[in-house]
Amino acid sequence: MQPELERWRDTLREHAQQRASQVALRGASRSYSYAQLLAEVEQREMLLRNQPPGVFALSLENGPELLFWDLAALLAERPCVILPPFFSPAQRAHCLMQSQANLALTGPELAEELRASGFTAGEPFWQRPAVVDAGLPTGTAKITYTSGSTGTPKGVCLSADAMLRVARELELASRPAEPRHYLAVLPLAVLLENLGLYAALLAGASLTLLPQTQLGISGASGVDWKRLLGCIALSGAQSLILVPQLLLGLVTAIERGLMRVGPLRFVAVGGARVAPSLLQRAAKVGLPVFEGYGLSECASVVSLNRPGANRPGSVGRPLPHVQVKLAADGEVLVSGSTLLGYLGEPPFDGQWWPTGDLGRFDEDGYLYLAGRKKNQFITSFGRNVNPEWIEAELTQHGAILQAFVHGEGLQQNLALLWPLDPQASDETLEQAVRQCNASLPDYARVHAWKRLPEPFTAQNGMLTANGRPRRAEILERYRNALFELVTE
């Protein structure tokens, strides 16, 4: 057993003895003490150990059952893949085929998909024989799928040691805030949330894990704000992990007096660029927000702001388990806790992982990101501009939900916009653009914009399954509309 995994089991056993009656996990209908949690996990671990070896696929709603099975697979040293709820049927089929999963546990809604993939129903598992060797790297504990910029997800293979080392560093980073109650907001299939739960368990905190529908979250980007904010308030959460769009909703609600900061002590935010203006708004209302940075290929979190070491605008200092340096062109390179390899590709045996992100360090070692290397464009004046920076600023003022910025080879930066309120007037959007431009240098300002006929979605091919813009597809579809804006 890998050292971190042995340490992990010892920690769960210590909690089960020393915190036997403390609530470890709250679900939609019942709670479990630390002693009960360990018993539930070990019971499922034995069931998994009695099955033929192979990859275990999970597709359950967020809740105690999903966490129990996830932890059981980890302790049984059985490779596990949690299928993201926002994946399409074709993407799920791809994951099952590529991973050659021979064991699955899902809800009844996926029965037909499993049959189509060659599975036979059993109790409690769906089973099928593995047809070919999936080429799983030795030591793989989890396959986490990242859709990236294309529709075909890539399987990132991670070891238990890599994931648990990150979880331990997350727990240490949040420890000064002493959060004792953690609310899971993101799907457990999102690696960042998966490790957030591990970190909370390492701390001996109480976790609340509710179905996404109960939280008011649907698909990759649908949010019922009244329901979500109510769950955050009622849960008594002291810590949680958010993506920027969810942070925007929380900050806006607090500003409008619809919610209080309450007991929140540690709100981590990551997954995409966070506009400095949003962080300033969070600070103004007293919300303790700590921005971080990571990627699946490095077992999620690489750097993080934390209590006593928080520099808004940066993504914090690198955590102790990694080394970070910059290539000659400014690309961020990471060593430590890197992936074992992509599924179906040769194992990764290098020392430094090229992240594809551009960054810089300040004199105190805080890392600042400038966006994706491949997304950067160069204006006709020779200015390098990363559109994600401008897009993040455009969407942080409460009027614009989605923005796409383009300026390759042009004197002007052009934008496509979709409003937060579909009934909003063009004048409202124009005011939001002017407000954004006022905080940007001249070379980054939006000179002309056009209202989109419909929002970007995964269904219309403009977003990846996890909500990132498919830039090539957007440019192809709206190229003519954009160039109608050019007035040079």
Are 82 and 188 within 8 A, CB to CB? yes
Question: DSSP letters of 24-47?
Answer: EEE-SS-EEEHHHHHHHHHHHHHH
Six-digit token string for 130: 């593995």
For residue 157, CA distances in Å to 138, 142, 143, 147, 234 come to: 9, 6, 5, 14, 37
Can you give the pLDDT of all 488 residues of the chain as single tens digits?
Answer: 788 999 999 999 999 999 999 999 999 999 999 999 999 999 999 999 999 999 999 999 999 999 999 999 999 999 999 998 877 788 899 999 999 999 999 999 999 999 999 999 999 999 998 777 888 999 999 999 875 444 567 899 999 999 999 999 999 999 999 999 999 999 999 999 999 999 999 999 999 999 999 999 886 557 899 999 999 999 999 999 998 889 989 999 999 999 999 999 999 998 777 888 889 999 999 999 999 999 999 999 999 999 999 999 999 999 999 999 999 999 999 999 999 999 989 999 999 999 999 999 999 999 999 877 888 887 876 677 889 889 988 998 889 999 999 998 888 899 999 999 999 999 999 999 999 998 888 788 999 999 999 999 888 889 876 678 889 899 999 999 998 998 75
Rounded (to 5) percent helix, strand, coil in the chain: 35, 25, 40
326 pairs with which residues across the strands? Answer: 332
Residue 154 forms beta bridges with which residues?
A: 146
Q: Do domains 3-160 and 376-483 have the same CATH topology?
A: no
Paired tokens of 186? 């993101």
Coil, helix or strand for 429? helix
CA–CA separation, 368 vs 357, rounded Å? 10
Determine which helix (DSSP H) or strand (DSSP E) holds 124, and give its type and residue range.
Answer: none
Using only C-alpha atoms, what is the Rg of the chain? 23
Reduce the DSSP state of residue 334 to 3 states and report it: strand
Cα 134 to Cα 149: distance, rounded to the nearest angstrom: 23
Residue (of 325, 97, 274, 301) closest to 83 by Cα position: 97
Helices (DSSP H) in 100-152: which residue ranges?
Answer: 111-116
Position 176, amino acid = P
How much is the pLDDT for 220?
56
DSSP reduced 3-state for 331? strand
Which CATH code fits 376-483? 3.30.300.30
Q: How far apart are CA 344 and CA 353, in angstroms?
A: 18
| Token code pair at residue 175 | 């420890």
Given the DSSP bridges, would you call strands 80-82 and 56-59 parallel, antiparallel or unpaired?
parallel
- Look at residue 148 in the predicted model and tell me its pLDDT: 46
Give the total residue count for the chain.
488
DSSP state string for 364-398: TS-EEEEEEGGG-EE-TT--EE-HHHHHHHHTTSS
Distances in whole angstroms, Cα of residue 143 to Cα of each of 54, 207, 306, 309 = 12, 24, 28, 32
Cα separation, 407 vs 412, whole angstroms:
6
Residue with tokens 């920076």: 389
| Topology classification of domain 165-374 | Rossmann fold (3.40.50)
**What's the pTM value of the predicted model, to 2 decimals?**
0.84
Spatial distance between the Cα atoms of 330 and 321, rounded to a whole number of angstroms:
22
**Where exactly are the structural domains of the chain?**
3-160, 165-374, 376-483
Q: Which fold has domain 3-160?
A: Rossmann fold (3.40.50)
**β pairing state of 266-269 and 239-242:** parallel
> How many angstroms separate the CA atoms of 427 and 225, rounded?
25
CA distance 297 to 155: 10
Report how far residue 303's alpha carbon sits from residue 301's, in angstroms, rounded to the nearest whole number.
6
